[in-house]
Each structure stands twice: as structure tokens, then as C-alpha cells.
Structure 1
Amino acid sequence: MRILAAATSLLALVAAPIAAQEAQPVEEQIGAGGRPVGANWSRSPVYAENGMAATAHPLATQIALQVLREGGNAVDAAIAANAALGLMEPTGNGIGGDLFAIVYDPKTDQLYGLNGSGASPRGQTLDDLLEKLGGADALPPVGPLPVTIPGTVDAWFAMHKRFGKMPMNEVLAPTVDYARKGHPVAPVIAMYLDRSLRSYTQRLETTAFEFDNARATYFADGAPEAGDIFKNPDLANTLETIGREGRDAFYEGELAKVMVDYLQRQGSAFTLADFAAHKSEWVDVGCAEYRDGFELCELPPNSQGFAALQMVNILRNVDLRQWERGSPEVIHYITEAKRLAYADVARFYADPNFSALPQELLTKEYGAQRFALINPNKAAPEYDAGEIAVAPKLEGEGDTTYLTVTDKDGMMVSLIQSNYRGMGGGLVPDGLGFMLQDRGELFSLDPEHPNAYEPGKRPFHTIIPAFVKKDGKPFMTLGLMGGGMQPQGHVQVLINMVDFGMNIQEAGDAARINHDGGRQPTEGMTGPSADPLGTLNVEPGIRAETVEALRAMGHNVRVVSNGIMFGGYQAIMRDPETGIYAGGTEMRKDGQASGY
């Protein structure tokens, strides 16, 4: 494949005029073509009647549809697609990470939330951890210390026990087959694999951690390129064992023993008892009404989902439709609402088993109080003082996968899964074919903070699936992966559709903003913020005059053209009258929405 690509490139170079060889990249030479309907910068949504899947990889989407056609339901198909993405998009997810999901069950007409996140070692205190850190002011992104229990496999079985139809070995079989025979690497994923290898190589220059297993699994011949065939026979064996022996194989059986032995050799405090004690938690889904009967629904902490609900409760106090979608006014209000919500995220969001979230944060009254703090003409220098900025950034760009599947009976699954920063902490247990997550990096080391590290505690989580209701009825699954981009991304898509009439594909393709910086949930409880204003990152689709107007309002604006930090979107909408599904997928990823 690489020889063919090189030959094609050489032929193009020889045939091209000299002037063209020296010209700007093609996307800067020519703009978008015209369309008979809809925005020129978007594509048509996908429509289907019997079932639909939208994922970050076309082959994972096809696997989900295959499961649906063979008699599985949306939960079976979502698990199958997630397993496939762990193989095909290891830069964003895998069974070494955590999972959150929202399931709409048409039989009960209810939303069910699942928190499949894992905890820290039960036998290691904060003092023990600080001693291992040797004076560092934050957990590292690599090695054994940021590892938390991988929750994905247990979450699969919790979902399957409650809703699944097809045997789990059949659900996992398509991915086992691809892992043995191989699949062609997709272009965006190839780019992330190259970035990951360079990042790990750079970290190895300053931090000692075991990387030989990861190198052999993913980078034996360097980073795979687009179109290269990638195989992972170790992962095939692991998934076969899980399909045959169930979740206990991963948390109590031979797979657990391999993981614990490996981690303990790296200096981890995890024991077999820690793995055996892990279990997913069914949680109540929270919803906040925006306008015109639309409600955004999210999962509670330790995820950051309720930050999106706080933004909705703030923005419902202003009619954004009085301005154009790309106006400085609309972008200003979205940005200030995000900053206000994140001041609370940094202060209150943590594992609810250790620190309860104040319920008034989600009231309309509190949203109105927060909205009153926004100056319509000027960015506030800071919201809510009293933190010190010693913590690492939130989740890196693109390090998550979101997928959604719906079926002929009306079941709708919104699922997100991640290893956290990069591909994870660089550690691949011997012969198992997957990398362990580094989610523990998001703990605070301030003992007074609700998100402080404690034994057997789940860290603050960035990954969030979403759901939208219309007039109390199921309307849309929604996800927009990517660290702190996620709550603000969910709200931007909602605004695009509700206030500005975009269809489900246009709502994802439209230029986005990503406010970064300000307070972090890993920070301490006292002291000033090092970056109180933060940076308002915008895509090139935001007009130059809008960028200058935002700067005049006091925002620190940066135009970013590569799309990486603006997340990965997938969504499926169900027509409440006809039951027809419409799907949208992310142009910034390799994915596909398809149905039958």
C-alpha cells in the first residue's frame, strides 16, 4: 500500500505543472462546490427506516448494521461497534478504558444511564501516591500511577444483561475476525497513530515507563499509514476469551491475573481484589429544557455531563435567534455560559460516592442567576476566584470515540468510550492486545477538593453521551467527543438545530468554537487561576469580522484550521410521527452514518 501511494504521488508530481507544484494546498486553491439543497459546506443526512448506526469508522458502522440484520438489537449492535472501534481506532478507545451510555428503551419508554468508569487502587492513600510522585504537583499521563480500573467490559455485560438479545460471543465475533485477518487503517486514525508514537517517544526521553509491549502491538514497523493492513491477534484472543467466559474472565479470571501481575511489576498498587470488586452503576439521567419543547439529557458526575445542562439553563435566558448564527453576540453568550458552567465543574464535580453535587446547580433559578453575571458587550476577566492552576490540561484532542445505534423497535443507544489522554498511559499488559487508560491523571492532589485522589475512588470524567427529547418524547442521540469540548459541543449542536434550523448533518459540519483554559477540576481550592480568561478557539468558518469583534469584546481568540480540537460528532434523530431515522456523522473524523 505504501509503495502504491508513493508511486501515485510521484506520477502526480511529474505530470503537474511547475507552478502547481509550488502552489498552496488544494483546499486553499479552491472552495466548496455547490449543492442543490442545504449548505454548500455540508452533506445530506442519511435516512433509513429499520435501523441506523453512526460511528467514527465505516467498518464499525457496517458491523453494527450486520448485527441488527442478524437479529440483534441496538444494544447488541452498539457493543459490537464499540469492540470494533477498540481495534480500528485504538487512538480513541479500547477495553482498557471506561464507558458511559444512555439507552432509550421503547418497552418502558424510559432513559437508562450507565456509568462504567473504574476507580483507583483501594490500598493506596493520597500520601502513598504523593510519595511515589516524588514532589510532582500532578499525576503523569504515562506509566502505572494514572491507571484506573478499566470499566468498559463490565459495562458491556451490564448493558447486555439488561437489554441484549444476541449471545456475546456472536456480538464480538466480527471484531475477532478483523483482529486476526486485519483491516485497512483509516486516514484520520493514521494521523493520530503517528501523533501518538511521536508523543510516547518524546515522553520516554524524560519519563521511564514500559513501552515495549505497546510498540510491539501498535508500532512494530513504526506508525501504520492510511491503507496499511493492521492486525492485532492478541486482542482477538482476549475478545474470544471474554465472549466465551464472560465478564468474570476480565475481572477475576486469567485476564485479570495478567493485568494485575503486569501492573504490579510496573509499581502499581492494584490487586486482584480491586478488579474483582469493580462494577458498573446504573444512574438517573438528568435533563434540562432549552426552548420549544427541546430537552438536553446528560449523565451526572463523576462525568461532566451536567455542565451542558448548566449551559442550557444559562442560555435559555436569551433568545439567540435575534442574531445570525455566526455573529459575535451568539458566540460571546455561548463562551461566557461555558466559562460560568466550568467554574462550577472545577469546584463541585467529582465521584458522588465521595462528594454529592449541590442540586441547586441544575435549577432554572440558578441558571438565571448565572446568566445575570454575563456582560453582553464584554468578556468577564474571571468567574469565581479561588483556585490554583497546577493541574494538567483536560483530555487531549480526539482521544475518545462516540457511537450511536438505533433499531427497528425504536431502541436508541448513545455511547461514549475512551482511554483518556492519547491512546492511554502507554502500558499494554503482556499478550492482551490493548492499552490501559490513564484516566487517573484527572484526580486533584489537593486533599480538600471534592475530586481529590482517594483509595477506591473514580476520578472526574470528561466523556459524556447525550440524548435529546422533544415534547417529552425521544428525539435524538448525540455525542461530540473531545475533552472539555464535549459539553459546549453538545450545546452548539442543539443551538444549531433548535434556534437556526440546521439539519442533523449541517449541525455537526458547521464551524465550531472551543473555549479552553480557565478553571480545571484537577486544581486546588485556593489561590488565583493562572489562566482565568482562557482562549477562545474558533474554526476558519467563523468570519474574520466576527473574530475581530470578539477580540474587541475582550476575548482571547485563536483561529485553528485543522479541526482536531473541535471534537468528533455522531447523531441519530427519530421522526416522532413516522419513526424514520436521520443520521449525521463527523467530517473531522473517518466515520460514517448508515442504515437500512
Structure 2
Amino acid sequence: MRMLLLLLLFVLPVESLDAQVFTSKSYANGLVVSADGYASDVGKEILDKGGNAVDAAVAVQFALAVTLPRAGNIGGGGFMVIRLANGETAALDFREVAPGKATRDMYVKNGEFQRDLSWEGALAVGVPGTVDGMIRALQQYGRLPLDVVIQPAIDLARNGYPLSFSHAKDLNNHKETFRKYLASARYFTKGDFISTNDSTQWKEGDLFVQEDLAHTLERIARFGREGFYSGPVADAIVNEMNRYGGLITHKDLRNYESKWRTPITTSFRGYELNIMPPPSSGSIAVGQILKMIESYPLEDMGHNSADYVHLVSEAMRRAFADRTYFLGDPDFWEIPISELMSSEYNNRRMESFSMDTATASTELTHGIVPSYTESSETTHFSIVDENGNAVSVTTTLNGSFGSHVSVTGAGFLLNNEMDDFSAQPGEPNAYGLLGGEANAIEPGKRMLSSMTPVIASKNGKVRMVLGAAGGPRIITATIQNFLNSAVFDMSAQQAVSVPRFHHQWFPDGILYDDFGLSPDTKSILSQRGHNMMEFYGIGRSHMILVDDNGILHSGVDPRGDGGASGY
């Protein structure tokens, strides 16, 4: 009953929120859960045509580039974790990289970090990886040809689709920024995109057509990788860079390469979790937090009780402190992964923990690894097919609508991922995250990311496919969704719907969902020394839960639109 009341409280309509109400859907064969209902339907369509989970994932990614332009993309990057029915696992890194002309201090002027330069405009753009990554995934694990899996996205772009209330609102909220860039004004504002006096707004139900994007997708369908990284589309990207002072060159585009990596595997109470390795910081953080809290009586504490929130927040605090010091692109920086993930190390990290008092972040630094020396706007989707193959994908432009720079004639937005580097070590980025030398800017380097796609198995069978959107809150949302199911036996829909909380070391405070904690709980946590900060939207999660009978259950986060589609 307590859980039902929490759910009702969180999803009841509130004037200031856009929360939706979703009920879990269950299917015997295949299921796609994503941040957009049209994209989920595309994934199901591909499964119906005989495609597997990877085919569907590639189709959903291209569809999201059309139907969720604030985050879905072909001008950004992301991570994919795969677990086949036979137990084989793989991780694909299609994260953006710094252009060849990038320099360590490119956002520092007169000793001061210029955040606007790394957040908006062409100088904030990293070399996109999504198209290369999707094609590589399809070639390695897919069944269907590229033109088949990309056609639904082409149709959505050319024929258009009706805008949801939240999609129309997002476009309107960014209208003034879009107007700084001619192509973005043309593609994403309504009315006279040149006149600053035109106050025409998008409305729910308006048909949103993207003809130039349809042409770009057709080029990719016909020419594959070369349809994006060379030829007219590449020319258009470079022209946009030159127009607005960006750094990406034809050489940067030609040289981009996504990478297969070995997933990080960690365990928790009989579950095996396959997680994206660095440059995802989420894998290390999730593994550390689980190790730090595993021995505590979580069930007895109770979900979102003062003791539970205190314990998990303190583990989060320590994991994020380590993130700042140790983590970066593994191709450029040695990362002591096995040590950071070990029970011994994480037990030492909790030696300073007290159930009675919060640890001040100013008094907590990274842990010590013997012999080691220092060398926001996202989208997630989960898929399981009829054979038991599972794919977990998180992809991003970084900020909402990325850099706000669109490619003239090609119809798509470019990312602002350069803000995810430590532009000036010790200075926070737009998400408040501190960075160190491990994540400093270097040409060709991948920036550290919070994206955390996860596949959890038990007794050799996939049990959860999960991840989230939301900058650093991806990590904390994902781990809470996992614990909600693994420890508190929630359904998939309950797990992603109940209120969440977040701590990231600095700024020093617990963010918590509106209405998420009782007054008594907040009072106890404040008495223990926590700074309590109400915040709407601790991540947006999309989850699949597989029960003992192999039935697939959807979890669609009520904090966004989202949708589930299966058969």
C-alpha cells in the first residue's frame, strides 16, 4: 500500500509538471522501450520483419534522430551494450571525439573558463560517432540490411508526425537560441524564422516535417558510412564549422572510428551486471556503489527511508569523488578498473562512513590505489527480442538540442559534447561535475560520459535491460532502478516511476524528486548534515524486466513522453 501511495503521489497531475501516467505492458516475444512512442513502434516493426534486437536498436536510433531532436541524433554519439542469448557480451563505444585542432585550454581566456564556448555554438561540437556506430553494430550483429532498418526513420522525416505537448514546448523554449543559427531557425522554429518579431509557436498536434533530414538518411541508407563522413553531408558539416567558428575538418570526419570494448562485469546478490566501460564513468560508479552498500540490510531499512537515502547518498558521494580523479578515455589514460571495482577498495572507501552523520564533501577526496599515479540531454532505450538477445543503448547530443547548430541542407543538429571534457581542471561543467587531468582535452580523445547502459542477468538469463537520460543523474537513476527491482521487488513500471534522489560529491547536497521524500525523512537527513534540494527530474529511465517465465515487462518513465511496443 505504501508503494501504491508513493506512485499515485508522484504521477498525479500537478500544474507545474509534465509527468505522464503509464501502465506496464507485457509481451511474450519482443519488447522495445524508448523515450518516444513512434521510435518504439519502429523497433517493433523491425522485429516483426525478422530483425533481431540489434537491428531494432539501429532502427530506433535513427528514428529518434527524427522524433526526438533534442537528444536522439545522428550528430552526436553514445554507447551500446549487447548480451546475446548464448551469453556473449559486447560493448560499442560510438562516443564523439575532440577535433584534431582542439587544444587543452581552448575554452580558457585570461585564466578564466568560458563556459558559454563549450556549451553553445560550433566550437562546442565534437566529431559525431552515431552513424559509424550504428553501421558497425549492424554489420557485426544485425540480420537486416541498412536500407531496411533506416527506412522507417526516412518515412517519419518525410511524412512528418504530430508533435506532443512536451515536444512542442521544448522547441518553443529554445526558439531564441535557434534563431542565432540560420539553419536551426529554419528547421526548428515555426513561422518566419528570420524575423525576430514573429511570435508564432509550435502547438501540440502540429505536423513536424524534416525533408532535408530525410535526404540525409537516404544518403546513409544508400552509401553507408560514406554517406555521412564524406561527400555532400561531410561538406555541409565542415561548411557549418567554418561559418560559426568550429574546428571539425574533413580529416576529422574521415578518421572517426567507433570501437568495440569489453563490457565491465560486476555482481550484486546473485545478479551479474554487464555495463559499458570507460569512457563511460557509470560502469565504475555503479560497481562501486553496489559494492559499498551490498552488506547493509537494505530491505530492513525500507525504500527511500532516511537510513537508506543516507547510506546510498554517501556511497554516491564517494564514487563521484573517484570519478573526478581516476576516469577518462582509456585510450589516453590508465584507469585502475579492477582495483576501483574491488570489494577491498570499496570497503576502505566506506571506513569514514557513519550512519549518524553526513561526510562533508570538502573533507572527502578520491581513494588511494596502491602504485597508481595520476597520468544532460540524453536518451536511453532497451530492447529484448524473441530469442533472448538484449541491447541497452544510451545516446546523446549532451545539452538539450546540443550545440543548437544545425547542418545547413542536411537537417540535423550537432552535439555540444566538448563541455564534457575538463575544460579547466577543478572547474565544474554545465552539470556541476568537477573534472581532473584524466579528462583534459586532447585531439582525438573521447570525453568522459555519465551514460550507463546496463544489462543485468541472473542464473545465465537476462533479467533487466536498463539505463537513463539526464547527465550525471543517469548513474544514480540507473542504480536506483536496479535496486528497486533487485532489492525491493518492484515491477518495471514501479521501478522507474517512484521518486529518486541524487548526490554527486559537488555540489554537496542531496537532490530529490518533487514530493519524493516525506517531511520526517527530510528532517532526519538534514539533522545528519545533508543539504536537501528539491529537484524535478532525477533522470528519465526506460527499462525492461524479464520475469521467471520469460515474459517481458516494460517500464516507461513518467517524467517524459516515452513508449513501449512489443508482441
TMscore range, shorter length: 0.7 to 0.9
1:500-539 alignment, distance < 5 Å: 500-515=488-503, 518-519=505-506, 531=507, 533-539=508-514
In the alignment, structure 1 residue 573 sits paired with structure 2 residue 561:
no
From 271, 276, 291, the counterpart of 1:294: 271
The CA RMSD over aligned residues, in Å, is: 2.3
Matched, 1:369 2:344: no
User: Is contact 1:425–1:437 with CA below 8 Å preserved after alignment?
Assistant: yes
Bigger shift: residues 253-262 or 241-250: 253-262
Q: Amino acid of the residue matched to residue 184 of structure 2?
A: A
Contact 1:297 1:309 in 2 (8 A): no
User: Counterpart amino acid of 1:544?
Assistant: P
| CA drift at 1:42 | 7.8
1:583 to 554, 563, 566: 554
The alpha-carbon distance between structure 1 residues 541 and 444, as it changes in their structure 2 partners (threshold 3 A), is closer
Q: Is there any run of 5+ residues in structure 2 with no aligned partner, and where?
A: 1-10, 192-199, 367-375, 426-435
Tell me if structure 1 keeps the 8 A contact 2:452–2:478.
Answer: no
Aligned partners of 1:497, 1:452: CA distance in 2, in Å? Answer: 37
2:449 is aligned to 461
> 2:81: which partner in 1?
102
Contact 1:480–1:567, Cα closer than 8 Å, also in 2: yes
TM score, norm. by length of structure 2:
0.87
Contact 2:99 2:248 in 1 (8 A): yes
Q: 1:179 to 1:69 in 2, by over 3 A?
A: same
Q: Report the Cα offset of residue 125 of structure 1.
A: 2.8
Whether the 8 Å CA contact 1:538–1:557 is kept in 2: the answer is: no
- What does the per-residue CA deviation read over 1:14-35, in whole Å, with 9 as the maximum and x for residues that have no partner? xxxxxxxxxxx99469xxxxxx
Amino acid in structure 2 at the alignment position of 1:315: I
Could you list the per-position Cα deviations for residues 390-439 of structure 1 after superposition, in whole angstroms to 9, with x for gaps in the alignment? xxxxxx3xx11111122111111111111001211111111111110000
User: How much has 1:44 moved relative to structure 2?
Assistant: 4.4
Q: TM-score, normalised by structure 1?
A: 0.83
Q: Is 1:171–2:149 an aligned residue pair?
A: yes
Cα distance in 2, alignment partners of residues 115 and 384 from structure 1: 35
Sort the Cα spacing of 1:358 and 1:587 in 2 relative to 1 into closer, same or farther, 3 A: same
The 2-side partners of 1:568 and 1:538 are apart by 12
Of 483, 489, 492, the match for 2:480: 492
User: 1:194, 1:224 within 8 Å by CA — same for their partners in 2?
Assistant: yes
Map of 2:182 onto structure 1: 212
Q: Kindly provide the CA deviation profile for residues 115-139 of structure 1, in whole angstroms up to 9, marking residues without a partner as x.
A: 1012111233325x25779853545
For the residues of structure 2 that align with 1:158 and 1:408, how far apart are their CA atoms? Answer: 23
Question: Is contact 2:81–2:274 with CA below 8 Å preserved after alignment?
Answer: no
CA contact (8 A) 1:97 1:418 kept: yes
The answer as to whether partners of 1:91 and 1:196 remain within 8 angstroms in 2 is: no
Match of 1:270 among 229, 235, 248: 248
- What secondary structure sits across from 2:90 in the alignment? strand
User: Partners in 2 of 1:483 and 1:356 — Cα distance?
Assistant: 24
Q: Is the Cα contact below 8 Å between 2:79 and 2:93 reproduced in 1?
A: yes
SS at match of 2:174: helix
CA contact (8 A) 1:314 1:337 kept: yes
Contact kept in structure 2, 1:46 and 1:582, CA below 8 Å? yes
Secondary structure of residue in 1 paired with 2:492: coil
> In structure 2, what is the Cα distance between the partners aligned to 1:82 and 1:133?
41
TM-aligned CA distance change 1:486 to 1:122, over 3 Å: same
Equivalents in 1 of 2:110, 2:279: separation in Å?
Answer: 24
Q: Secondary structure at the match of 1:126?
A: coil
In the alignment, is the contact (CA less than 8 A) between 1:512 and 1:539 conserved in 2? Answer: no
Q: 2:286 aligns with which of 305, 308, 313?
A: 308
Query: What is the Cα deviation at residue 51 of structure 1?
Result: 0.8
Kept in 2, the 8 Å contact 1:406–1:412? The answer is yes
Question: Counterpart amino acid of 1:368?
Answer: N
Report if the CA contact (8 A) 2:273-2:455 is conserved: yes
Give the percent of matched residue pairs that are identical in Structure 1 and Structure 2.
Answer: 31
Q: Find the counterpart in structure 1 of residue 430 from structure 2.
A: none
Asked if 1 retains the 8 angstrom alpha-carbon contact of 2:388 and 2:462, the reply is no
